[in-house]
Each structure stands twice: as structure tokens, then as C-alpha cells.
Amino acid sequence: MSILDRFRLDGQVAIVTGASSGLGVAFAKGLAEAGADVVLGARRSDQLQDTAALVEAAGRRALCVPTDVADPEQCHRLAERAAEFGTVGVLVNNAGVGTAVPASRETPEQFRSVIDVNLMGCYWMAQAAGAVMGNGGSIVNVSSVLGLVTAGLPQAAYSASKAGLLGLTRDLAAQWSGRKNIRVNAIAPGFFASEMTEQYPDGYLESQLGGLPIARAGDPEELAAAVVYLASPASGYQTGTTTVVDGGLTIS
């Protein structure tokens, strides 16, 4: 097997949650270009067809399954539909929501709604996917650089959920890498165009990008390449780690 062959995902089925927009679209497209058929999950089912068209344009099959990852039963349904589609080898836990609410005003409902999707939803999906992967697979949890540092906005719920996801990644890797041959890793993106960045206050993003060593926002394809690496045999000796893709934010 050549080095480039190690990045291939031919014959595998990949599940991508939060696949209706933003980074989830880039991940689905990248996995398809690497050879995987892709099962797409999101709450906004009407937008999944656009992502499916990109997967099919890359020559791979796509399956759309409306899913709210905060509901464990829907997570299991998504995994079971994916298993009917073929051998599930990859889960990209991408579904997430964000808020920017001062801690003095954030309600219990607001805080819980973020944790339910960003942290608990990833756990329910990992459980569901782990049950159908059999002996071998790769789970990529999409955390955030805000699980490691702060960046000037009040985001307690979001930061807590993403930091918790890093701990979850380590624990699942310890449990499953040897026993089930399922590797579990995380990525911690910095500033990439998404629905969350569209909600930032005017001038905020520009103020943050100016201080980065790589003084620009990331291209979603740059992050998709990291996901393909972690999903593929190219990272076969890597588990329980967090790959930071942030333009140098954590060192600035």
C-alpha cells in the first residue's frame, strides 16, 4: 500500500452528523472524494439533499436520514440505516450548536440545549455507531479550539461542551481501541466559515484573525483533509488524540 493509498476509504460507509450545512457539507464531500459512501444525518432534512448531490457528484452513494442527535433513539436509527447501506467504518460527530450568552444571564434551558447536542449527542452517536462497526472503525469527534482556549466571547456552554468532548474522546479511545479496534480522535478547529461564525458580532472575527500567525480564516477543505486523515488508515496508529487546526490561535 502506497502512502496515498493509506488515505483511501474505498468500500467503507461513513456517517456524518450535522451534514446539512457548513463544515458537515465539506466533511461529507471530502470523505466521498476519498472513496466512502456517506450517510448524512441532520435535523434539517430538506437541506440534506444538497449535500447528497455533492457526494454523488464525487461518484459515491449517499443516504439521507433525518436525525436529532440529542435523541438516543434517533442516533440508533441513523446507525442502523447506515449498516444496511454497507460496512460502517467511519463516524464524524459533527452536529453542534453554539451560543454567546453572558454567564450571568444564561438560562438552564439554554445551557442544557448546547450540552444535549454537542456533548451528549456525540456520546449517543458513538454508542450507536460502535454497535454497528463490528471489529474496526474510526470515530472523529469535532470539538473546537474553544475547548482549549477562550476567544473573547461569553461562550460557557459551548466551551464546556467542546472541552468535555475532548475528555470523552480520550476515554472512548481507551475503552475501544484495543477491545473493538475502533480508534477515537478529535479535531479542534479554529475559525472556519460556518453558521456559528455568521452569528458573531460585527468586527469580532476580523479582530481575532488579525492576531493569528496564519492571519486568515481556515478553508473548510483544509479541515476536511484533517478529517479524512483521521478517518483513514493513514492515522492507523493514532487514537485518543486531539488534532488542532486553528491557524496558530492556541499559540498566539
Long-range contacts of 21-25 (CB under 8 A, 24+ apart): 21/47, 21/194, 21/195, 22/193, 22/194, 22/195, 22/196, 22/220, 23/94, 23/142, 23/189, 23/192, 23/194, 23/220, 23/223, 23/224, 24/51, 24/92, 24/94, 24/95, 25/50, 25/51, 25/54, 25/220
- Please tell me which residue in 158, 200, 204, 229 is annotated as part of the active site: 158
Among 129, 2, 5, 9, which Cα is nearest to 58's?
Answer: 9
Q: How far is CA 190 from CA 22, 205, 215, 243, in A?
A: 14, 11, 12, 11
Nine cell digits for residue 1 = 500500500
Catalytic residue status for 158: yes
The Cα-based distances of 183 to 40, 75, 78, 213 in angstroms read 21, 19, 20, 31
Q: Which residues are catalytic?
A: 158
